[in-house]
Amino acid sequence: MEFNLEKTIRPHLVGMKSYSASRPTDDKDQFILLDANENPFGNYNRYPDAENVQLKGKLADINKIDASNLFLGNGSDELIDLLMRIFCDSEKDSIMVFNPSFVMYEIYAKMNNVAVEKLQLNSDFQLIKTEFEEALTKTKAKILFLCSPNNPTGNSIDDLEFYIQSFKGIVVVDEAYIEFSPEESAVGLLKKYPNLIVLKTLSKAYGMAGLRIGVGISSPEIASFINRFKPPYNISSESQRLALQQLQNEKEQAENIQTILSEKEKLKKGLAENKEVVKIYPSDANFFLIEFKDAEKVYQKLLDANIWTSLRHPALKNCLRLSIGKPAENLKVLNVLSEI
């Protein structure tokens, strides 16, 4: 596929120099560091590694890619914002999203004064190919965001490659929940599509939401451009250190995913028996979108029992989004629901 990165980036960024925060990564101790106005005293006196070398090395192994394919953000939220600021001109460009989907695409677009073109999902929360093709004939969108498994609906998008191959700008496949899903990651498509960016996160299946680490995977050309413009020290030293440490526990993480998936099945059975539930939507993620007879009432009852759920998406009437918790927590949800 033909793709010209320089023509896709906001024109004023193409030749712009960025701030370089690189330092020697080997034999650090033999250098006297007087370049960054740090305090020579204290436990956290040094800036973090701006290039995230060690963490990227481990993430490259896990994703079976090269470290040059990676760019990291303070959560993938930060990367979504950064991508818009790199590719979309305010007041001129737009992004394309489907609806309902992850709300932050739209929020960051609005913050950056970038327009949002929305494709309505059908009743199975799938894209309609003919409507997508029709939209392509008049779009001026620079980025297409494909969230699969989709938040807040939970389902995977069918035939993802069809949408990737048809769009001429940047295609972002947001795979925040892919590790819970039986579907293949789009990382395998990177060689075929030079305009593809895959976003992952350590916040969900890896259980590190508190460390705030989002993972961008793309061609080395795109990754190197984004690395040039990301905030230099966006991942703290402690986050880098702890993430690296946690990523060694591969067995424990795999077991936790299995526990979540088996809890999900139990919860689904329990919910299906509840008379307040109208529909449990198919989910490939670690949450369910559930339609209730009266979602407001259920939300309140759960809240009265100190259980927070999400009742937020404007496009979804009478629906709650419920994350899969620990076994005892899920049981409590079912007990509260059965008392309504």
Is there binding between residue 147 and ligand PMP (CB under 6 A)?
A: yes
| Residue nearest to ligand PMP according to CB distances in the complex | 75
Half-sphere exposure of residue 71: CA atoms within 13 angstroms, side-chain side:
26
Burial 196-216 (b: 16+ CB within 10 A, else e): bbbbbbbbbbbbbeebbbbbb
- Over the window 186 to 225, marking each residue x when it contacts ligand PMP by CB under 6 A and - when it does not, the resulting string is ---------------x-x-----x----x-----------
Q: Are strands 214-217 and 170-174 parallel, antiparallel or unpaired?
A: unpaired
The alpha-helical segments, DSSP class H, found in the chain are 5-8, 11-14, 53-63, 75-87, 103-111, 129-138, 160-166, 220-229, 237-246, 250-272, 295-304, 327-338
174 binds ligand PMP (CB under 6 A): yes
Residues 93-122, one symbol each (x = binds ligand PMP by CB under 6 A, - = not), give ---------x--------------------
Contact between 45 and 39 under an 8 Å Cβ cutoff? The reply is yes
Q: Measure the CA angle with vertex 271, ends 266 and 276; round to 5°.
A: 170
Q: Which is nearer to ligand PMP, 247 or 337 (CB)?
A: 247
Q: Is the CB of 52 or the CB of 151 nearer to ligand PMP?
A: 151
Tokens at 66, concatenated: 């090269």
Of the two residues 62 and 209, which places its CB atom closer to ligand PMP in the complex? 209
Return the range that interacts with ligand PMP (CB under 6 A); candidates 3-11, 53-61, 74-82, 182-190. Answer: 74-82
Which residue number, 75 or 169, has a Cβ lying nearer to ligand PMP? 75
Q: Which residues bind ligand PMP (CB under 6 A)?
A: 75-77, 102, 147, 151, 174, 176, 201, 203, 209, 214
